[in-house]
Amino acid sequence: MEVLQLPHGRLTHYGRAAGVGKPALVICPGGGYEFCSIREGAPVARAFARDGIECFVLEYDCAPAPLGTMPVRTAAAAVAWVRENAARFGIDANRIAIGGFSAGGHLAGTLAAVWHRADWFEPGTDLQMHRPNAAVLCYPVVSAGEHAHRGSFVQLAGADRDRQQAFSLENLVDGNTPPVFLWHTLDDDEVPVENTLLIEQALRKAGVPHEVHLFPHGIHGLSLADYETYEPNRGRLPDRHVNRWQALCAEWLKYLK
């Protein structure tokens, strides 16, 4: 296990996948931009590594708030480092995805949407180095509007609703956004499924290839929905059907052009 200290986070490599010319996935755990959930980090990375995806978990700083563009700059640095070191890990440098859960999904989606916009990054940044080739958004926080997970946007932009709108993903997606894999549950009452529906509509309008899976049942924060990531005291139970998202996603990443 290799750990890289970033200016505002830590990137951990979990388990080497078999083969060369592999895709890679940088995983951003959720936590409302207040913490990084361990259930949405290492267990997920190990599952994807078993399926031939080289995996890294990004623990990004969640203080001081408001965070502004600090998280997306940290995610950009993580993707750039993986690309710089792709040969060492047997990774295809043109098959690097960023993914995340809940607020981590918002972070992954933000980098996917704004990677080409120099105003989001430090002057002189090589934008191509941190360009994700795909994004995986799991029950993502998306919209600062009616269906917002308000706490996430307060952490990012403070209480001002106009400032929060600058981080609303459905307004940031354009034709430069890479292909996206999305999944959500219809029962999610913490981050409503409308978040995924809004970004799916934006992706379709922009002509961005994407795959969407909507599961009928399951509360927020299921992670892998297996016995390693379940939390019975919070109603997060194993679910074979929902658990299929991970195998579907691994297949999507491996065959994505």
58 vs 55: CA distance, rounded Å? 10
A 10 A CB-CB count for 197 gives 18
User: Model-level pTM?
Assistant: 0.98
Per-residue pLDDT of the chain (257 residues; tens, 9 = 90+): 799 999 999 999 986 778 889 999 999 999 999 999 999 999 999 999 999 999 999 999 999 999 999 999 999 999 999 999 999 999 999 999 999 999 999 999 999 999 999 999 999 999 999 999 999 999 999 999 999 999 999 999 999 999 999 999 999 999 999 999 999 999 999 999 999 999 999 999 999 999 999 999 999 999 999 999 999 999 999 999 999 999 999 999 999 87
Is the bond preceding 64 in cis, omega lying within 30 degrees of 0? yes
64 vs 78: CA distance, rounded Å? 20
Nearest one of 57, 58, 47, 59 to 17, comparing CA atoms: 47
